[in-house]
């Protein structure tokens, strides 16, 4: 199967882009950021990193928004957290702002940006055109999210413990959230294409 060079992000099918449409972009960034905040609060307590629905939302934002807008959305979310808004998992109970961001979860936050960018980039190159390619994109997006997360966690607990505590307990969740992401993107794409 040959992939097309460029594909429009899903959001362009729902709300077509216009030249210099700053209000549209701002609204989409705000909506995505609100979804990330809500997904951070829906969590399963684990140590040292709680399991939330954020990785699912990051993957879907990347696919729905494309690389640039997806990364901008996650960066806006991180900026809110950096200035002290309690948008992250475990905030405000476990601290806020930059002090929280430099804690054990800091690498995963960086991974969110990379994951949204990669998923958006892959979506723009047609990786959403079949379930197999879409599943591959979701897997790569999950992988790139965990790499900086585990490496940063390793600075606190050592590499072996970081893998044992910051990756292995989430293996099943990665598969489940990846499958949910594939299903969600596929359903949204079909609905939007059928409306067009």
Q: Does 177 reside within a domain?
A: yes
In a domain, 11, yes or no: no
Would you state the pLDDT for residue 172?
83
- For the chain, the domain total comes to 1
Residue 90 maps to a domain: yes
As a whole number of angstroms, the distance between CA 49 and CA 40 comes to 12
Within a domain: 169: yes
The predicted pLDDT at position 96 comes to: 92
Alpha helices (H) in 66-130, listed in sequence order: 67-82, 97-101, 106-124
Radius of gyration of the chain from Cα atoms? Answer: 17
Other CB atoms within 10 A of residue 143 CB: 14
What the block records as the tokens of 83 is 């200035």
Q: Which CATH number covers residue 36?
A: 1.10.1760.20
The one-digit pLDDT tens for each residue of the chain (196 residues) are: 444 446 788 898 888 888 778 999 999 999 999 999 999 998 776 665 567 899 999 999 999 999 999 999 999 999 999 999 999 988 898 889 999 999 998 999 999 999 999 999 999 999 988 899 999 999 999 999 999 999 999 999 999 999 999 999 888 888 889 999 999 999 888 887 776 5
Looking at residue 1, its pLDDT comes to 44
Residue 3 backbone phi and psi in degrees, to 5: -90, 145
Is residue 13, in this structure, part of any structural domain at all? no
Is residue 5 assigned to a domain?
A: no
C-alpha closest to that of 49 among 174, 166, 193, 128: 166
Cα torsion 175, 188, 15, 88: sign: negative
pTM of the model: 0.90
Contacts of 196 (CB under 8 A, 6+ apart): 13
3, part of any domain: no
How far lies 26's CA from each of 29, 69, 70, 72, 79, in Å?
A: 5, 10, 12, 10, 14
Residue 1 is assigned to a structural domain of this protein: no
- What is d(CA 141, CA 147) in angstroms, rounded to the nearest whole number? 10
Range of 48's domain?
A: 20-195
């Amino acid at each position: 199967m040959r992939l097309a060079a460029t594909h429009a992000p899903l959001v362009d099918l729902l709300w077509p882009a216009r030249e210099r449409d700053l209000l549209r972009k701002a609204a989409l960034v705000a909506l995505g950021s609100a979804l990330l905040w809500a997904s951070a609060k829906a969590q399963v307590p684990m140590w040292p990193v709680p399991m939330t629905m954020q990785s699912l939302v990051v993957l879907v934002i990347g696919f729905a928004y494309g690389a640039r807008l997806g990364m901008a959305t996650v960066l806006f979310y991180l900026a809110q957290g950096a200035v002290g808004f309690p948008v992250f998992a475990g905030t405000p109970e476990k601290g806020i702002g930059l002090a929280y961001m430099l804690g054990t979860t800091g690498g995963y936050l960086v991974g969110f940006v990379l994951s949204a960018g990669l998923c958006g980039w892959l979506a723009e190159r047609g990786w959403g055109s079949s379930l197999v390619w879409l599943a591959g994109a979701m897997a790569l997006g999950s992988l790139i999210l965990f790499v900086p997360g585990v490496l940063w966690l390793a600075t606190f607990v050592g590499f072996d413990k970081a893998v044992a505590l910051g990756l292995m307990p989430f293996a099943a969740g990665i598969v489940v959230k990846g499958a949910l992401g594939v299903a969600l993107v596929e359903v949204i794409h079909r609905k939007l294409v059928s409306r067009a």
